[in-house]
Structure 1
Amino acid sequence: MPQLTDHSATDDREYDDSDHDDRGCGDREGGAGTWMSPEEYGASRAAVWTAAVVLVTDTDGRILVQSVDYRADRLLPGGAVDAGEAPSAAAARELREELGVDGRYPRGLAVDWIPADTPGFPPEMRFPGEILHVYDGGTWTPDRIDAVRLPAQEITGIHFAEPADLPALMDPGDARRALSALRARINGSGAALLEGGRPTAPTALDRLGVLRAPRTPQRGAWRGGTVPAQRPVSDLTGWLFAPDGRVLVLIARATGAARLPHPDAAAATGSAPLGYRDGEAGVHVRVAARLTGLPPAADPAYARLLATPEQVRELSDWGPPGEDELAAVHAARARLGLPVPARTPLTELPDEGLRW
């Protein structure tokens, strides 16, 4: 910041070029460089609004949005930060006022810069721009959702929306921000920095636009072991483990949809039946194996990434039986002698392939 001084400072001091800071308002008469009075420095600083919202999901991975009585589109719960209030405190206060739910939300998912020329603000509002903090409200159980109590006015309802439906329900910038925050939560690498809802340093999930298309439901009951002989098989996919315990997942470049690969998509050892899910057209069979290599990409329609099993589940719509499948996946990982993987941003693998 520029050096500050008061009006008693004289301009006949010896000029030292090391004092010069190009971020100042320019030279004073007499060569005093960027020295500014506190009043001048305060007046030079940009004034913006500050707000805080909270991203909450249910156990199916859908996002809580609320209807309000002053606009047609949906919003994440939250609102303006009061003077002298910390953003995280504002987030807790807003959820208490809007949903009747007490809680603390210390983990940030995103910080968004909303420029002053953003469409939709009436000119008489003199919108100066806004810094908006997105906090992680976690996954709410049915009991906690049932405990929501709406106020007599302002909030007219809540519901949980599929991530891909947000652009149809929300203002475009709000939808981009919510999806960016959800991807940051899945990545687990800290808060994303956004400008107009867009990450300044996009991750693989951002570049591929995951969750912009509806997830394919696979909600049938999970059953361990092999498929009974009389049951038709709808599809066969694999939990294919890298040496660090993460698994291979495919992302469709055109839609951002995630799916597990066919077991033949890579070189693997130790393949064994893991279980299956009931489906309308047959059963969805899963096997588990240890990856030894990945051939050059044969299908340019898909990107190949490594993810933790939990991240794969968060990109999928498996319903409550997903927990049973996840437990079976970790049991298979342990049998293969592989470590519990740390949650890190999903890693896109090279098209030329690799070996472990």
Structure 2
Amino acid sequence: MTANKTPPMATPRVASGALFLDGEGRVLLVRPTYKKHWEIPGGYVEPGESPRSACNREVQEELGLKIKVGRMLVVDWAPAENEGDKLLFIFDANTTATVLEQDICFSDGELSEWRYVSTDDLEDYVPDRLARRVRTAVEASGQCKAAYAEHGIATE
């Protein structure tokens, strides 16, 4: 390699989402109007924006809730065949907010409904890779730690 050439490096897409749990340990999922499956609240990080800031922004845009998410629960390296490398973050939303049903509002038309779903039933709503990531986040939340994952599975 010459001094003028930069070695190849990853330029992953980055997204972040919020983990809301109810008193029974069920996960808050939202149904986008433009997808066939459900998601957790969140979305892509914009240029110059941190993953935590993006998560706060997305929760406000999608659910109408102005919160500051808590600690990072998971960072997941999860490349997708048709999208390339991805780094996906999940932040704990329960450390700073209690979701009250009457406070959730869909103002931008991006979402059509929300519900709490048992971790045992996640595959009925979300792709397998997201189900794995969410379960890793729930486990990290219960253990008060952060996890590094690949394809949704925590590594040591």
TM-score tier after normalising by the smaller chain length:
over 0.9
Q: Which residue of 2 aligns with 1:161?
A: 117
SS at match of 2:19: strand
* Residues 1:182 and 2:138 aligned together: yes
**Partner in structure 1 of residue 153 of structure 2:** 198
Which residue number in structure 1 is paired with residue 62 of structure 2? Answer: 98
Deviation at 1:141, TM superposition (A): 4.2
Partner of 1:86: 50
The residue aligned with 1:129 is 85
Q: Quick one: percent identity of the two aligned structures?
A: 30
- Using the alignment, how far apart are the partners of 1:45 and 1:152 within structure 2? 36
The superposition leaves residues 232-260 of structure 1 with CA deviations (integer Å, 9 ceiling, x where unpaired) of xxxxxxxxxxxxxxxxxxxxxxxxxxxxx
| Root mean square deviation of aligned Cα | 1.6
One-letter identity of the residue aligned with 2:59: L
Contact 1:68 1:156 in 2 (8 A): yes
Gaps of 5+ in 2: none
Structure 1 stretches lacking a partner, 5+ long: 1-25, 29-35, 122-126, 202-356
The one-letter code sitting in structure 2 at the alignment partner of 1:94 is E
Residue 149 of structure 1 is matched in structure 2 by: 105
Task: Output the TM-score relative to the length of structure 2.
Answer: 0.92
- Rounded to whole Å, the distance in 2 between the matches of 1:115 and 1:141 is 32
Partners of 2:29 and 2:41 within 8 A in 1:
yes
- Residue 53 in structure 1 maps to residue 8 in structure 2: no
Amino acid at match of 2:117: A
Read off the aligned partner of 2:149 and give its amino acid letter: L
Q: Which runs of 4+ in 1 moved over 2 A?
A: 139-142
Report the 3-state secondary structure (helix = DSSP H, G, I; strand = E; otherwise coil) of the residue aligned with 1:93.
helix
Q: Is the 8 A contact 1:64 1:76 kept in 2?
A: yes
* Aligned counterparts of 1:59 and 1:98: Cα–Cα separation in 2: 22
Query: Aligned partners of 2:98 and 2:75: how far apart in 1?
Result: 26
Task: Tell me the distance in 1 between the aligned counterparts of 2:103 and 2:70.
Answer: 21
Alignment-mate amino acid for residue 85 of structure 2: G
Checking the alignment, whether the CA contact within 8 Å between 2:31 and 2:37 is kept in structure 1 is yes
Rg bigger for which structure?
A: 1
Size of the aligned set, in residue pairs, is 155
Q: Deviations over 1:56-77 (max 9, x none)?
A: 0112211100001111211000
Counterparts of 2:105 and 2:28 in 1: how far apart (Å)? 14
Give, in angstroms, the shift of residue 200 of structure 1. Answer: 1.2
Equivalent residue letter for 2:110: E
**Residue 44 of structure 1, CA deviation:** 2.0
One-letter amino acid of the structure 2 residue matched with residue 51 of structure 1: A
- Structure of greater relative contact order (alpha carbons < 8 Å, 6+ residues apart): 2
- Looking at structure 2, the residues matched to 181 and 145 of structure 1 have their Cα atoms a distance apart, in angstroms, of 22
Question: TM-score of the superposition, structure 1-length normalised?
Answer: 0.42
Distance 2:38 2:79 in 1: 21
* Structure 2 Cα separation of the partners of residues 116 and 150 of structure 1: 28
Give the conservation status (yes or no) of the 8 Å contact 1:59–1:141: no
Q: How far does residue 179 in structure 1 lie from its aligned partner after superposition? A: 0.5
CA distance in 1: counterparts of 2:108 and 2:50, whole angstroms? 26
